[in-house]
């Protein structure tokens, strides 16, 4: 039987490579790889099926929040660090993904949320959405509908291009009136919400004539039902997408983190408009998804953000779905 400790001993490996580096007799001089290091990641899209709908997740790029204790509230810094390290995640910084969903029903192409656009509030890694769409073979001009969960900077920032042209020139836009009115309100420009309001105004303002306000329970486009989940923002909306027997719930920012805001769903999140209402809504909606075993697509979960939630103690656990590599 193999001595496991010896087989996986890091010290042993280090000693061997040191011998090699010193030109020792064990492994000889360092080998030359046949190919250089790529230094590039795979294309940032993932395709899967929901019944007969062809769905594609496209990314706007990672969104680094930095040190987590100022963002995830109601728990000590030490406890946040432990929850993260217990889940093999860095404990000193949190990075969210931005998973935007595209659905093609065969007669309509729908994009849910559209990333940070040119805004660099969270650094240089965001703003990849249009490039990701192109990698996925999707022309932004072909998008028929932009369905919006809420008017935050990382969900509507990509509507307008840098030069003031529309990134999705042929799309109708669907958003709740409550969120539209709240985040485009000129009266909030003198408040700490200023940066978010400016971006919402810049992206929603020029598109006012294309906006259709969605109501709770309404079927906004065929097979897509709006469900109000107020709290993170006052008009925050998730979308249940159904084809035949299959459904997936595009939950937007119902929960921002697969550990911190699932294991402890009542924690508060600094970017919530009404953190107490957000926590109550989070528990209620996650309870429903867990009880009905409906998969979710979470905008900020680890790429590509698709999985199930199940009740676990006082909170929930996330079970990422296996990738569908054959459609
Ligand atoms: Zn967000």
Ligand 1 mean position to 8 CA, how many Å?
41
Cα dihedral across residues 293, 294, 296, 302: positive or negative: positive
Ligand 1 mean position to 25 CA, how many Å?
55
DSSP letters, 26-37, are TT-SPPPPSS--
Strand bridging mode 172-175 / 63-66: unpaired
**Given this model, what pLDDT does residue 163 score?**
87
User: Would the pLDDT of 22 be above 80?
Assistant: no
The pair of structure tokens assigned to 127 is 């703003």
Q: What is the pLDDT of residues 274-308, one digit of tens each?
A: 999 999 999 999 999 999 999 999 999 999 999 99
Ligand 1 mean position to 125 CA, how many Å?
15
User: Would the pLDDT of 2 be above 60?
Assistant: no
- With contact defined as beta carbons under 8 Å apart, do 232 and 271 qualify? yes
Ligand 1 mean position to 5 CA, how many Å?
44
Q: What is the pLDDT of residues 32-53, one digit of tens each?
A: 889 999 999 999 999 999 999 9
Ligand 1 mean position to 53 CA, how many Å?
25
At CA 208, angle to CA 207 and CA 209, rounded to 5?
95
The mean-pLDDT minimum among 7-21, 176-190, 238-252 falls in 7-21
CA separation for the pair 78, 169 (Å, rounded) = 48
Closest CA to 87 of 321, 280, 320: 320
DSSP 104: E
Closest CA to 324 of 58, 50, 41, 44: 50
């Amino acid at each position: 039987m193999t001595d496991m400790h010896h087989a996986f001993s890091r010290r042993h490996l280090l000693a061997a490579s040191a011998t090699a580096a010193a030109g020792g007799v064990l492994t000889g001089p360092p080998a030359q790889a046949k190919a250089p290091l790529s230094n590039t990641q795979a294309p940032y899209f993932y395709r899967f099926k929901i019944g007969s709908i062809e769905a594609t997740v496209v990314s706007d790029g990672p969104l680094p929040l930095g040190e987590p204790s100022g963002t995830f509230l109601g728990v000590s810094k030490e406890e946040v660090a432990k929850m993260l390290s217990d889940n093999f995640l860095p404990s000193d910084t949190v990075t969210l993904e931005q998973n935007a969903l595209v659905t093609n029903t065969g007669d309509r192409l729908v994009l849910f949320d559209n990333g940070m656009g040119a805004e660099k509030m969270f650094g240089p890694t965001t703003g990849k959405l249009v490039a990701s769409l192109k990698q996925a073979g999707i022309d932004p001009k072909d998008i028929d509908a932009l369905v919006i969960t809420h008017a935050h900077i990382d969900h509507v920032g990509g509507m307008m291009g840098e030069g003031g042209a529309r990134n999705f020139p042929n799309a109708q836009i669907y958003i709740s009136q409550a969120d539209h009115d709240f985040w485009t309100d000129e009266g909030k420009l003198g408040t700490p919400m200023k940066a978010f309001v400016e971006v919402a105004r810049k992206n929603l303002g020029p598109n006012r004539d294309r906006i259709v306000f969605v109501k709770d329970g309404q079927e906004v486009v065929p097979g897509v039902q709006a469900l109000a989940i107020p709290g993170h923002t006052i008009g925050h909306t998730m979308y249940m997408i159904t084809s035949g027997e299959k459904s997936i719930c595009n939950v937007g920012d119902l929960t921002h983190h697969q550990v911190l805001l699932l294991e402890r769903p009542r924690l508060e999140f600094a970017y919530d408009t009404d953190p107490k209402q957000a926590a109550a809504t989070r528990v209620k909606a996650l309870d429903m998804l867990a009880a009905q075993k409906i998969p979710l697509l979470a905008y900020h979960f680890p790429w590509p953000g698709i999985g199930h939630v199940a009740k676990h103690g006082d909170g929930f656990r996330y079970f990422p779905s296996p990738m569908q590599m054959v459609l």
